[in-house]
Amino acid sequence: MPRKALRLARILMASAAGAAAQLCAVPVLAQPGPATTFSFLRLEPSARASALAGSYSAVYGEDVNALFYNPALLSEDVHRSASFSYLNHLGEVNAGFLAYARHVDGWGTFGTGVRFVGWGRTEGYDANGEPTGTFGASDAGLTVAFARTDDGHLSYGASLTGLLSRIDAYSASALAADVGISYHLPESRTTFSASVNNAGVVLSSLGTVKDELPLDVRVAVSRRLMYVPLFLSVTGYNLNRIGDEPSSGNAVGDVFRHVTFGGEFQFSDAFQIRFGYNHRRHQDLKMKSRLDMAGVGAGFGIKVATFRFDYAFNSWSSLGGLHQFTLRTDI
């Protein structure tokens, strides 16, 4: 494959932020850690998680999409739960996500998920800069997960994901594993969790330099307030890279680049309003001196009969916004 086309395509596929960087001249730093072929794993797989700015690693309940964050969050509550999500990203980038779970008495809860990202068409050039036509790029991942709960409080789980990235006729593949634990306190409506995400092995790379998986160590806590219908979630992510990144000179700001916050007003089981904030994304994408909403997420959820519909909007400053939709139900 021509070197210029390969270089452009690898950058384009690196992550959603990387795609925006090429199309709209923003830095790849909008996503944590170095850009890799498999950085699409950092995309939020559901509208609810996206509205909470990705602070989803301790959200215990009926949402099967939690298996993408910490497999230990799978429980009997998600038995027969199915979910479909669609993400309309910047440019021609689109993504889809599927998830399903089933509980087996005496064993535990099994889950499976699919992630797919289409990066649109890209112009190719040969070594002399002459156009060679357009080519496509896509990413896909298939996840299987299992979790088990002991004494009604402590849960542990693991998942394995097969990954495939393609550029024209070229491809890269990998196996990524997540392992996690969670501790749920129903009486105080509080959940603690910890997980290691995207650990594994790269089987083949797109170029001569071996690709990496976006390893991510996370700890999180969530709590439903007692006298206010408000659910709060705080997640520390990419903790394995603390100290590896250049300091901004502001210690507080450097810490907050590894923390994301989310909240959900749970007015009833049929209606919720959500919000979230990712400081790293705000710092890396902001283009205005005042009132720049980069890094801010918002959305809502409604329930009609047995169907739940979730919507999320995430601001990418002057570049525009990301729209995401999720439909959940029991099968």
How many domains does one find in the chain?
1
Among 117, 93, 85, residue whose Cα is nearest residue 22: 93
Q: CA-to-CA distance for 99 and 114, rounded, in angstroms?
A: 6
Predicted local distance difference test score (pLDDT) of residue 3? 45
Assess contact for 270 and 254: CB atoms under 8 A. Answer: no
Distance (Å, rounded) from C-alpha 129 to C-alpha 55? 44
Q: pTM, whole model, 2 decimals?
A: 0.85
Cβ neighbours for 227, distance < 8 A, ≥ 6 positions apart: none
Check if the beta carbon of residue 293 is closer than 8 Å to that of residue 318: no
- Whose CA is closest to 38, among 246, 236, 203? 203
**By C-alpha distance, which of 208, 261, 203 is closest to 237?**
261
Residue-range definition of the domain harbouring residue 151: 3-330
Q: What was the pLDDT predicted at 10? A: 43
Which CATH number fits the domain that encloses residue 67?
A: 2.40.160.40
Q: Report residue 5 as tokens.
A: 């086309």
Residue 319: how many other CB atoms lie within 10 Å:
18
Give SS3 for 48: helix
The predicted structure's pLDDT at residue 31: 57
Separation CA 166–CA 264 (nearest Å): 37
State how far the Cα of 213 lies from the Cα of 198, in Å rounded to an integer.
Answer: 6
Residue from 125, 93, 123, 124 nearest 15 by CA: 93
The total of other beta-carbon atoms located within 10 Å of residue 133's CB is 10
Which one, of 83, 85, 105, 103, lies nearest residue 94 by Cα? 85
Structure-token pair, residue 185: 């306190």
Asked if residues 63 and 84 have their Cβ atoms less than 8 Å apart, the reply is no
pLDDT by residue for the chain (331 residues), tens only, comes to: 444 444 444 444 433 333 333 333 333 335 566 677 898 999 999 999 999 999 999 998 889 999 999 999 999 999 999 999 999 988 778 999 999 999 999 999 999 999 999 988 777 777 777 787 778 889 999 999 999 998 779 999 999 999 999 988 789 999 999 999 999 999 889 999 999 999 999 999 887 788 899 999 999 999 999 989 999 999 999 999 887 777 766 777 788 889 999 999 999 999 999 999 999 888 888 887 677 888 899 999 999 999 999 999 998 887 788 999 999 999 8
Which residue type occupies 282? H
Confidence (pLDDT) at 282: 86
SS3 sequence of 242-304: CCCCCCCCCHHHHHHCCEEEEEEEEEECCEEEEEEEEHHHHHHHCCCCCCCCCCEEEEEEEEE
| Distances, alpha carbon 143 to alpha carbons 30, 100, 166, 248, in Å | 25, 10, 18, 37
Distances (CA, A) of 201 to 186, 194, 212: 37, 21, 8
SS3 32: coil
Cα–Cα distance list, 27 to 11, 54, 151, 312 (Å): 12, 20, 46, 23
Q: Specify the pLDDT at position 62.
A: 83
* 123, amino acid identity: E
